[in-house]
Amino acid sequence: MDKSKKAALLFRLLAVAATVSASIVMATSHQTTVVFNVAIEAKYSQTPAFRFFIIANAVASIHGILILFLPPKGLLWRVVVALDLVVVMLLVSSLSAAGAIAQVGKKGNNYAGWMPICDQVKAFCDHVLGALIAGVIGLLIYFGLLLHSIHTVLNPLLLKD
């Protein structure tokens, strides 16, 4: 196995680790606090964008694990390039949605009358931030793997007669 394939394998393992950790950290984010004798509960499951984030990272993790078992040569790798692109788009969309909701939770929205909640449920917001950071790392690694796959499998720079 040459250096390029070993590096790709290592980065695939890192991408799986990042997406699995993003899913786990987001799934364990919950906190209950009492403000003015009113219990406030913040959980990832209350927000569809956070659930989408978990599902998208889980799909990316499963994709990364399945790719590890493919033989190194074959026509199936052309499909892997397309699936890598789909995974990158899925991660971008889930990260964007979860990031937008996290921003509203942190800053609120004065025009809509939404108050920020991160002052009351700091541990929940810290978990969400950690999950988003792990998600960004996973996205960047998958994007690099997509570029590597395009270069090695499709080889667009070589002009064939």
Task: Tell me the pLDDT tens digit for each residue of 43-92.
Answer: 888 899 999 999 999 999 999 999 988 876 777 888 888 999 999 999 99
Per-residue confidence band for 1, with pLDDT thresholds at 50, 70 and 90: low
Top-confidence residue, 53 or 30 = 53
Residues 145 and 148: their CA atoms lie apart, in Å, by 5
Residue showing tokens 């899925």: 90
Q: Give the pLDDT confidence of 123-159 residue by residue, as tens digits.
A: 999 999 999 999 999 999 999 999 988 888 777 666 4
Q: Given this model, what pLDDT does residue 161 score?
A: 44
Q: Which two tokens stand for residue 45?
A: 């499951």
Q: Give the pLDDT confidence of 3-29 residue by residue, as tens digits.
A: 777 888 899 999 999 999 999 999 998
Residues 124 and 25: their CA atoms lie apart, in Å, by 10
